[in-house]
Structure 1
Amino acid sequence: MTDSPITVLLIHGGGASGWDWHLVAPLLREYGYEVLAPDLPIEDPETGIAEYADFLAAELGDAERVVVVAHSYGGLVAPVLAARRPVEQLILVSAMIPAPGEAPNEWWSKSGYDALGLELPMETEEQMVAAFLHDVPAELAAEELARGREQVEDGDVPVPLDAWPDVPTRFLLCRDDRFFPADFVRTVVRERLGIDPDEIDGSHGVMLSRPRELADRVNRYVTSWRASPGRS
């Protein structure tokens, strides 16, 4: 019997949209994956992480084989989704990792991020590019900022997660990320997931600056896991 196709679900970061993945998605389709990159309903004040996870579960429908790739804030949503419906693998890209019962607004202090004292200025477009998109082509960076959306959830509501789901998880650190610096990320990944992160060159906007490298890395993770003993 032929395997069901693998669906790769791409979850965007906070204040963003599925457009973030528009360069990566067709490259993954070239590998034979079905790809979904929906816009989370972040502009709806009645929604939060639980509702985002339910929304994504509905988007997936009856897809049997699902790999989730989550960027930045999407890392808070991915494990909740994986706890609610079958997922073969989680791939976190420069992502936030929630602790059980931790609210999004608490993450910044409890993860140790606030203690970094980065204080990156983000008042102008140039400052936003410098913080998040410094290696992204100028036209793409400008469009990314223009497509930004207001996220209006209550960030004090705890992430509905009792424990990290029993799902194979990989973390891909972006070495040139100024927003989530590499040393900080290495520490958080080891403390919260008990694994060493993999690494790739690129800024926080790696899906726009290095789409081919990112798509290749995702494919490598999927195929290597599928080829491991006991998998079919």
Structure 2
Amino acid sequence: MGIGVEPATFVLIHGGGSSAWDWHLVEPELRGLGHEVVAVDLPIEDDANGISEYADAVVAECAGHRRLAVVAHSFGGLVAPLVCSRVATELLVFVAGMVPKPGESPAEWWSATGHDDLGIALDTRREEVDAFFNGVPDRLVDAAFEHARDQGGANWEQPSPLRAWPQVPTRFLLCRDDRFFPPDFARAHATERLGITPDEIDGGHMVALAHPRELAERLHGFWNRRGD
């Protein structure tokens, strides 16, 4: 851990249509580095829920933990800043994440960021595998589809309750081989929305399944250097 560096509690937020299972290979790596881990299942299957309810679920799981580092993958990025505005947090990390503007709805994000213009097709399983799972072993791809969950979209037009950006040290980690959020798109997104130059890691969109040890080491490093 390094002299004088206290361990974190890493709060891991999964992406859209998914579950905490996405982090199951990263969790033991973080624990091996001395940290606590809380991986949250967002209540995505209930159409009555939206960003606020997702954040409520994460906040509830944070109870009793300290030295929080919130890590959000993909769609989870829309939830993470709201969590950080509700609980004391020492680090916020987007991993191939969607960065919201205050008051922006999930539906608005796609066109506002220019992602709609990329023309990425997700109509078949083959297209989904190509966009999300390049570099992931076949057995884990199959398991990911088994753990996938339907995500209700009734509240996608509802503006985010986030009103101001939380004052938390923030990093953005893009994936160099990402086909869903390609590197050029992710760099521009992080620069425009966060005003920072993103860090980079090898791997596709589902980097937590393809390179769990490397991802855990990067998160560990971000925690140790969060005051820089």
Q: Which runs of 4+ in 1 moved over 3 A?
A: 2-5
> Hey, what's the Cα distance between the residues in 2 that align with 1:166 and 1:50?
19
Identity among equivalent positions (%) equals: 53
Change (3 A) 1:62 1:127: same
What is the CA–CA distance in structure 2 between the aligned matches of 1:45 and 1:113, rounded to whole Å?
24
Tell me the residue number matched to 2:46: 44
The two structures have a TM-score, normalised by structure 2, of: 0.94
CA RMSD of aligned residues (A): 1.5
- 1:5 CA displacement: 4.8
- How many residues in Structure 1 have an aligned counterpart in Structure 2? 224
Mapped to 2, the partners of 1:105 and 1:147 lie a distance apart of: 24
Aligned match of 2:161: 160
Q: Deviations over 1:179-213 (max 9, x none)?
A: 01110111111011000000011100000001111
Distance in 2, Cα, partners of 1:137 & 1:172 = 22
Contact 1:125 1:145 in 2 (8 A): no
Q: Which residue of 2 aligns with 1:98?
A: 100
Structure 1 partner of 2:181: 180
Contact 2:10 2:38 in 1 (8 A): yes
* Alpha carbons 1:94, 1:180 under 8 Å: kept: yes
Matched, 1:17 2:19: yes
**How far apart, in 2, do the equivalents of 1:113 and 1:3 lie?**
39
Q: Which runs of 5+ in 2 are unaligned?
A: none
* Ranges in structure 1 where 5+ consecutive residues have no aligned partner: none
Q: Aligned partners of 2:54 and 2:34: how far apart in 1?
A: 27
Matched position secondary structure for 2:40: coil
Q: Counterparts in 2 of 1:21-36, with a 5 A limit?
A: 21-36=23-38
Shift of 1:19: 0.2
CA distance in 1, matches of 2:64, 2:18: 26
TM-score after normalising by structure 1: 0.93
For 1:113, the equivalent position in structure 2 comes to 115
